[in-house]
Structures are given as structure tokens and as C-alpha cells.
Amino acid sequence: MFITIEGGEGCGKTTQVGRLVSRLERSGRKALMVREPGGTRLAELVRGLLKDEREDPPCDRAELLLFLAARAQLVRNVIKPALADGAWVVSDRFCDSTFAYQGYGRGLPLDILRIANDFACDGLLPDRTVLLDVEPAVALERMRERAARTKESADRIELAGADFHARLREGFLRMAAENPGRISVVDAAGTVEEVEERIWKSLKLSV
């Protein structure tokens, strides 16, 4: 099974992807964690460009194509072989982030995104997607705490304004309403353990 975890910054995706993979392993399943953009040498190089290139920042179309190039490489070299080998793959972001950020956020046409994403993924779609939804104020507080702890500055995409982030959330929720069989919306407020439990229940797995 191919599971993706989606949502805006600070909703807790990375924390929960790790917990879900451990839980799948404890239940006897072989599981692999990947992140987007990233997960292969090429995709990690592209990730650096996407997050940190300030001197010649990618225009919206170049940004889209870079995310898709990273995804094509990850799907072909890591995700499809792992699924073929019987593993469960859990991805920290995947195609819904492209529709949310480059579509609803940047305003690129959704019909073009669908065709281009399908080409990049060679037809692969997640079996299940968990959308972690949280009030922007809660997410911002988590990001502030993390920044204070790690002394890391915000990346290029995090610096987009509040309007952009409001459009993202609306876009994610709209996609969930349009794909109720695949996307479950999970409340990401509360403790890490509470959110982990909600995610596990939402997946309705046998063990």
C-alpha cells in the first residue's frame, strides 16, 4: 500500500510519518519512509534548489517542473520497486502538495498539473492519503518553537504570505471533499500521541 501524509507547514507530517512507519513495522509489515521533494540523490539536489535558491529563484513554471522531476526520479527508483517488493511506502507529501502549492497557491492551471503529475508519476497514485489539518495559528506556533530550538531560518516557500497559506488550506480541504475514498482529513491539534492515534484509526487497517 502507498500512503501519503499531507498538510501545510507545521501540521506535524514529518513527526507522524515516522510514527506511522514504526507502527506498521510493529504490526509485522515491511515499511519504507520517503519524503518529497527528496529520497534520491537527484531529488535531494533538487530539494536544495527549491528551498534555498534566492539569487535566481525558480519562476512558478520552473518550480512545478523541478518538483515533478524530483518526483519522477523517486517514483521510478524507490517507490515503485519498494511496492513491487511488497513494502508499505509512507511518503511525507506527494502529488496533493503540488495541487495545493503550485495550483491553489501559485495559481497554475489544475488541468495542466494533472496531466504533468500523471506523466511524472507514470500513473502512480496514493492508495490512501491522510490530510493533517490544523488552525494556522497552531502551526505557526509549532514552527516558531522549532525555529527557536534549531536556529534554522525560514526557507523560500515558507516565506510566502498569509494569503498563500490560506489558499493552500482551502485547496487541501477541497481536494479531500472531492476524493473522500482516498483522502481522510485528520485533526492535527493536540499531542503527538493523540494525532498518531487519530491517523491510525483513519486508516482502518486490520491490525
CB of 125 vs ligand Z5A, minimal distance in Å: 14
Please state, in angstroms and rounded to a whole number, the distance separating the CA atoms of residues 183 and 176.
5
Interface pick for ligand Z5A out of 2, 3, 4, 13 (rule CB under 6 A): 13
CB of 2 vs ligand Z5A, minimal distance in Å: 15
187 belongs to the binding site for ligand Z5A (CB under 6 A): no
Please state, in angstroms and rounded to a whole number, the distance separating the CA atoms of residues 90 and 83.
11
CA nearest to 198, candidates 106, 126, 133 = 133
Q: What DSSP assignment string belongs to 90-136?
A: EEES-HHHIIIIIIIIT---HHHHHHHHHHHHTT---SEEEEEE--H
Interface pick for ligand Z5A out of 32, 183, 195, 199 (rule CB under 6 A): 195
DSSP 11: S
Please state, in angstroms and rounded to a whole number, the distance separating the CA atoms of residues 40 and 74.
6
Q: What DSSP assignment string belongs to 33-94?
A: EEESS-SSHHHHHHHHHHHH--SSPPPHHHHHHHHHHHHHHHIIIIIHHHHHTT-EEEEES-
157 belongs to the binding site for ligand Z5A (CB under 6 A): yes
CB of 28 vs ligand Z5A, minimal distance in Å: 25
Question: Which region among 19-27, 54-62, 170-178, 190-198 touches ligand Z5A (by CB under 6 A)?
Answer: 190-198
CB of 46 vs ligand Z5A, minimal distance in Å: 11
The alpha carbon torsion through 147, 56, 40, 181 (nearest 10 deg) reads: 70
90: which 3 cell numbers?
509512507
Count residues near ligand Z5A (CB under 6 A).
23
29 belongs to the binding site for ligand Z5A (CB under 6 A): no
CB of 11 vs ligand Z5A, minimal distance in Å: 4
196 belongs to the binding site for ligand Z5A (CB under 6 A): no
129 belongs to the binding site for ligand Z5A (CB under 6 A): no
| Binding residues for ligand Z5A restricted to 42-101, rule: CB under 6 A | 67, 93, 97-98, 101
Interacting residues with ligand Z5A (CB under 6 A):
9-15, 36-37, 67, 93, 97-98, 101-102, 142, 145-146, 157-158, 191-192, 195
